Amino acid sequence: MAEVLSQTEVESLLAALDPDGTSSPPKAGFRPATDHHSQISLYDFKRPERVSKEQMRAIQGLHEGFSREFGASLSGMLRTIVECKLISVDQLTYSEFVFSLENPTCFNLLESTYLQGHMILDLNPSIIFPIIDRMLGGGRQAKANFPNRALTEIELKLVSRITKQAISALENTWINLCYLDLKVSQIESNPQLVQIVPPNEVIVLVSFELTMGEMRGIMNFCIPFNTIEPLASKLSSDSWSAYKSRVISPKEQLNMETNLSRTKVELVAELTQVKLSANELMGLSVGDVIMTEREVSDGLTLYIEGKPFFSGNPGTLKGHKAVQVGKQITRARDILSTKEEPEFVRPTEAVKTHR
């Protein structure tokens, strides 16, 4: 008959098999714990992911269109093939972005009229100097070495043409989300001298590779999270492409014109403008004559909502004082608007104005 081991002897044998002596027999109703380490993902509190993956994909798709438009406009300006390729879209801290840049570099600080904060457009010297060389008539032969210095005043003027092309392409790309109206507020060669956000603030870094012949360089577009935070609801892969310019139907246009025709505006007829001292003003009395430098033949100026629009002549009509509308006054902005492209009006502003 086989010998039956007791519980104590079984535990002794199991302890002998385990070198650490930590093994214990399974108890009734005991189930081994599952491995939860496979479900744990690491999280770095120094680099919080404030921009979701869906928003990152939307930003990537948004700037793929920018890369095509900017590459085409840059090729037309330089009369050579320039390829602009989107290489990465990452989120990191502002300090990590600044210390990753070369020094000196072309560090452009962009300011938007309709968004809080600033954006940064950084152009690497390895591609800026070849482009400047091309703009000045060179670029026939590839050069591997370029000066390690900041850009001169003349070079900055030439680079501003490239920056304008990039700003125009960015505004066209972002038009479905927001009207940027960007302008360059500052240009620096040392990126560490400019701090638009705290060092640990999260930014979205969109990197492009510019290729002109054998020359290659990186262009970085830095967007702080607090700048695009108001647009977070629109930054999704499904919604950003759906925000398109709304076409007004003929019926809506007729309704707007009808409502505008009923709108009351203020019309002021200005005789002249005279400057008087306080002493002269205190000495005025009924019957005094104020001398002006304006001729009688010049007539009046008619202001509509504070802006000069027409010239006029004073008179009377059926016993009432009246002003006869004369020629329309040509303003400098009207002359410039006929030569340049028409000023863009955001659809939301247009609707508010018409209302």
Asked if 86 contacts 173 with a C-beta cutoff of 8 angstroms, the reply is: no
**pLDDT on residue 224:** 92
Same domain, 197 and 109: yes
Q: Is residue 289 domain-resident?
A: no
* Residues 81 and 223 placed together within one structural domain of the fold: yes
Res 1: pLDDT: 46
> Of 197, 225, 242, which residue constitutes the final position of a domain?
242
**Is 305 within a domain?**
yes
**174 and 321 in one domain?**
no
Is 27 contained in some domain?
Answer: no
The HSE-up count of residue 335 (CA atoms within 13 Å, CB side) is 4
Tell me the angle at which helices 125-135 and 53-78 cross, rounded to the nearest 10 degrees. 30
Residues 66 and 177 in one domain: yes
The number of domains in the chain is 2
Establish if 32 belongs to a structural domain. Answer: no
Q: What is the mean pLDDT of each run of 10 residues along the chain (355 residues)?
A: 66 68 50 56 63 87 91 91 92 91 91 89 91 82 75 92 93 87 91 89 93 90 90 67 59 83 85 83 85 77 85 85 84 58 44 39
For the entire predicted model, the pTM comes to 0.56
Which of the 8 DSSP states describes residue 289?
-
Same domain (yes/no): 256, 215: no
Are 99 and 122 contained in the same domain?
A: yes
> 217 with 301, same domain?
no
229 inside domain: yes
- Return the CATH number at 260: 2.30.330
8 lies in some domain: no
Whether 14 is in a domain gets the answer no
Q: Domain with 230 in it: what CATH number? A: 3.40.1550.10
Distance CA 170, CA 222 (A): 12
For 238, the 3-state DSSP assignment is: coil
Length of the chain, please?
A: 355
What is the C-alpha separation between 355 and 259, in angstroms, rounded? Answer: 8
Residues 137 and 263 in one domain: no
Work out whether the CA dihedral 63, 69, 72, 73 comes out positive or negative.
negative
Q: Are residues 73 and 130 part of one domain? A: yes
pLDDT at res. 242: 43
With respect to residue 217, please indicate whether it lies within any of the assigned structural domains: yes
- Both 267 and 331 in one domain: the answer is yes
DSSP string, 3-25: PPPPHHHHHHHHHHH-TTS---P
Handedness of CA 143, 149, 152, 156 (dihedral sign): positive
Give the domain extent around 170. 53-242
Domain identity same for 219 and 308: no
Instruction: Give residue 308's identity as a one-letter amino acid code.
Output: P
CA atoms within 13 A on the CB side of 319: 0
Residues 235 and 167 in one domain: yes
Q: Which amino acid is at 307?
A: K
What's the one-letter identity of residue 139?
G
| Residue finishing a domain among 224, 242, 260 | 242
- pLDDT given at position 332: 64
Segments of the chain assigned E as strands: 82-93, 106-112, 118-123, 182-188, 202-212, 215-224, 267-270, 300-304, 307-317, 320-328
